[in-house]
Structures are given as structure tokens and as C-alpha cells.
């Protein structure tokens, strides 16, 4: 069994995952909830920044989702005091997550996540920050892969959380702690005497993600495989490698489709190179086209991609398919597919 790293080594784990020379000269926003993981990330990055120097500055950011009444306000006040003691600028945004979830018909967890990343992205852009760093750990990755498997995710979902991804053209999300476990986090916090907050909602079984962590994973460890976490992570890594290969092949295939941009927003391209390709490859090429048009992917489920793939392979011209995000697919000519902004009236 692996033993926790000494407290002094935790910043070095962060540095190995995210070398300071990549970020010391730009501004970084660290998302902090007050919990153990985010406080370890903040303290670890501050330690690295003091050693590395550079022109950039670290900012802490807290999104108060206003879901726990006085407890949410207490967390916010505690973070304000902590950041003042650490001499770190703290940006706080309050957001009525429950109201958004009710308005859009989403679950609380999804609404909170979407709001959090939207707010963090806007905040980073306003500060001129290049990166938003979050404290997702190895255990979070295990939960993510297993949860997505239970929901029927494809390879992309089973690959888990990416270490980095674009939030906007100027801001990237970074997860430097994906190789760090809870034991390393707690040892580090204890070693430096850093307090943290406990979120009682993390123990509530009404949230599906919590049930995976509190009920399903302990059952799997005890009854099936003591190292089920490692098995899940390896499966996720293999899924990620397979997905990366598919993306590379799809990029080459899309280049043969001779696409061009459409005035007003969109893209048009030839579909002949897609003939005879497996559906998974056609869907990935369509993702490339979608990104080339600048459309947001969040609402495009796997079923939507399959519907679009089938539409793109239909013979002849004519017809239209309304898609999420106010996007319309049309076949303006035989063997040509257009993705344009604006749904059918």
C-alpha cells in the first residue's frame, strides 16, 4: 500500500503535474470552497509561487452557491479571513443555484457545476488570468469515471476529467491534483497547520454522486476488489488513449472534407469522405465541424450526435435537423452538410 507523501513533498507533487515555469509569469485563479482539497491546492501553489517567482499573481475565487443558508455564509466569511491572513486577493461571487436549477429544469449538482465554471471563467477573463486551477483529486477522478459509466457514457466520458481544457479562448482550466490522493492532502494540511471547512452536503445521500462515493465504492472495495480505485483509473486511462486516437484520425478525416465557414456563423463541408466510416468516427468528425463553427457542445448528447451522423449520411439534398444551442443542420446539395446558427422557425 502506498504511504502518504510527507507534507513538504506535496508542493513538489503539484510541480510535477504542473511545472511553475508554465504559469509563474501569468495570473492564476484558484477556485476555493474552503474544503481540504481546495485549501491544499491554494497553499501548495502559493508555496511554489514563492519559490519560482515570476510576474504573475495568484488570486483565490469562491463561488457561494447559497444552498446551505448560514453555513454557506460562514464558509465565505471564513475564507475571507484565511485569504487575508495569507495575503491572497479573494474574489467572491454569490449565486442563487436553486433558482437556476428550477428555472432550467436541471438538478442542483449540474446547475451548481455549470454556474461555477461560468462564473470562474468570467472572473478569470476580468482579471486577465490565463488559468483557473481546481482541486480535483485522484478520488474525484475515480468517482467521475464510475459515475459516468453508470450513466452510459462513451469513451470521451469514461476517460474522466481532463488535466486541462479550454474554458474560453483566453482561459484554460487546470487540475494539478488529479494524481494526488486524499491521504496526501490531509498529511499536507496537518503538516502546515492549515484548517479547512467541512461541507455537510457532501454526506447527503440525496445526491447521486455522494451515493457513489459513500455507498457504491465502499461496497466494491470490500466485496469485489480492494484496489477497485486503481482498476477504475486504469480503465479511464485506456478509454482516454482510445479517445485520443479516434480524435487524431477524425481530425485527418475532417481535413479531407474540404470545409468552409458560413457567413453569419456556421460551417459547410463535403460528406463523401465519411462514406463507409463507423458511426463513432462520423460522430467525431462532426464534433470537429461543430467546434470549427464555434458552437458550444454542452447540450449535444451522444444521441444528438448519432442523429446528426445519420442525417449527414442521408442521400440527396434537402431536409433540416434542429439541434441544441440554436443550431440547424441542412443538406444544401448532395454530399454537402451545413451546420448554421439559427433553428427552424
Check pLDDT > 80 for residue 2.
no
What's residue 1's pLDDT?
44
CATH of the domain at 81: 3.40.50.620
Express each pLDDT in 271-319 by its tens digit: 999 999 999 999 999 999 999 998 988 789 889 999 999 999 988 778 8
Look at 63-67, 70-74, 156-160, 241-245 and tell me which has the smallest mean pLDDT: 63-67
Task: Report the range out of 96-100, 176-180, 321-325 with the highest average pLDDT.
Answer: 176-180
* Whole-structure pTM value: 0.87
In total, how many domains does the chain have? 2
For residue 236, being part of any structural domain is answered with: no
Express each pLDDT in 104-149 by its tens digit: 666 777 778 888 999 999 999 999 999 999 999 999 999 999 999 9
What's residue 171's pLDDT?
97
- Do residue 22 and residue 166 come from a single domain? yes
- Do residue 170 and residue 277 come from a single domain? no
For residue 243, being part of any structural domain is answered with: no
- Averaged pLDDT score across all residues of the chain: 92
For residue 235, being part of any structural domain is answered with: no
Q: How confident is the model at residue 331 (pLDDT cuts 50, 70, 90)?
A: very high
For residue 54, being part of any structural domain is answered with: yes
Q: How confident is the model at residue 345 (pLDDT cuts 50, 70, 90)?
A: very low
Domain residues for the domain of 200 are 7-223
- Do residue 184 and residue 278 come from a single domain? no
- Do residue 103 and residue 167 come from a single domain? yes
For residue 237, being part of any structural domain is answered with: no
Rounded Cα gap, residues 42 and 47, in angstroms: 9
CATH of the domain at 270: 3.30.465.60
- Do residue 215 and residue 262 come from a single domain? no
Check pLDDT > 70 for residue 182.
yes
For residue 274, being part of any structural domain is answered with: yes
Give the residue from 198, 223, 248 where a domain finishes: 223
For residue 231, being part of any structural domain is answered with: no
- Do residue 143 and residue 263 come from a single domain? no
- Do residue 101 and residue 34 come from a single domain? yes
Express each pLDDT in 187-225 by its tens digit: 999 999 999 999 888 888 888 899 999 999 999 999 999
Check pLDDT > 60 for residue 4.
no
- Interacting residues of 292 by C-beta distance below 8 A, sequence separation 6+: 254, 259, 261, 267
Check pLDDT > 50 for residue 97.
yes
What's residue 8's pLDDT?
57
- Do residue 25 and residue 76 come from a single domain? yes
For residue 229, being part of any structural domain is answered with: no
Amino acid at each position: 500500500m502506498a504511504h502518504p507523501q510527507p507534507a513538504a513533498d506535496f508542493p513538489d507533487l503539484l510541480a510535477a503535474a504542473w511545472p511553475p515555469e508554465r504559469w509563474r509569469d501569468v495570473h492564476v485563479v484558484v477556485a476555493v470552497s474552503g474544503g481540504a482539497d481546495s485549501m491544499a491546492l491554494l497553499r501548495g501553489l502559493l508555496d511554489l509561487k514563492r519559490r519560482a517567482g515570476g510576474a504573475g499573481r495568484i488570486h483565490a475565487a469562491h463561488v457561494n452557491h447559497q444552498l446551505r443558508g448560514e453555513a454557506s455564509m460562514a464558509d465565505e466569511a471564513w475564507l475571507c479571513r484565511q485569504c487575508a491572513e495569507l495575503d491572497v486577493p479573494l474574489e467572491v461571487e454569490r449565486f442563487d443555484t436553486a433558482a437556476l436549477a428550477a428555472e432550467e429544469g436541471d438538478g442542483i449538482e449540474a446547475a451548481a457545476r455549470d454556474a461555477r465554471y461560468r462564473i470562474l471563467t468570467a472572473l478569470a477573463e476580468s482579471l486577465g488570468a490565463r488559468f483557473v486551477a481546481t482541486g480535483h483529486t485522484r478520488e474525484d477522478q475515480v468517482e467521475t469515471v464510475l459515475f459516468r459509466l453508470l450513466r452510459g457514457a462513451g469513451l470521451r466520458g469514461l476517460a474522466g476529467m481532463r488535466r486541462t481544457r479550454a474554458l474560453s479562448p483566453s482561459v484554460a482550466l487546470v487540475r494539478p491534483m488529479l494524481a494526488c490522493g486524499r491521504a496526501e492532502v490531509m498529511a499536507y494540511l496537518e503538516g502546515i497547520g492549515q484548517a479547512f471547512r467541512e461541507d455537510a452536503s457532501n454526506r447527503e445521500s440525496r445526491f447521486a454522486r455522494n451515493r457513489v462515493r459513500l455507498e457504491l465504492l465502499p461496497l466494491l472495495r470490500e466485496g469485489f476488489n480492494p484496489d477497485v480505485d486503481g482498476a477504475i483509473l486504469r480503465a479511464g486511462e485506456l478509454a482516454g488513449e482510445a479517445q485520443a486516437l479516434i480524435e487524431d484520425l477524425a481530425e485527418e478525416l475532417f481535413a479531407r472534407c474540404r470545409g468552409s465557414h458560413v457567413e453569419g456563423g456556421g460551417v459547410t463541408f463535403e460528406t463523401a469522405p465519411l462514406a463507409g466510416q463507423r458511426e463513432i468516427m462520423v460522430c467525431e468528425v462532426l464534433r470537429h465541424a461543430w467546434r470549427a463553427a464555434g458552437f458550444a457542445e454542452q447540450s449535444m448528447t451522444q444521441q444528438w450526435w448519432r442523429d446528426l451522423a445519420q442525417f449527414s449520411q442521408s442521400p440527396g439534398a434537402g431536409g433540416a435537423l434542429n439541434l441544441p444551442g440554436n443550431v440547424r443542420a441542412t443538406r444544401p446539395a448532395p454530399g454537402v452538410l451545413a451546420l448554421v446558427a439559427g433553428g427552424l422557425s
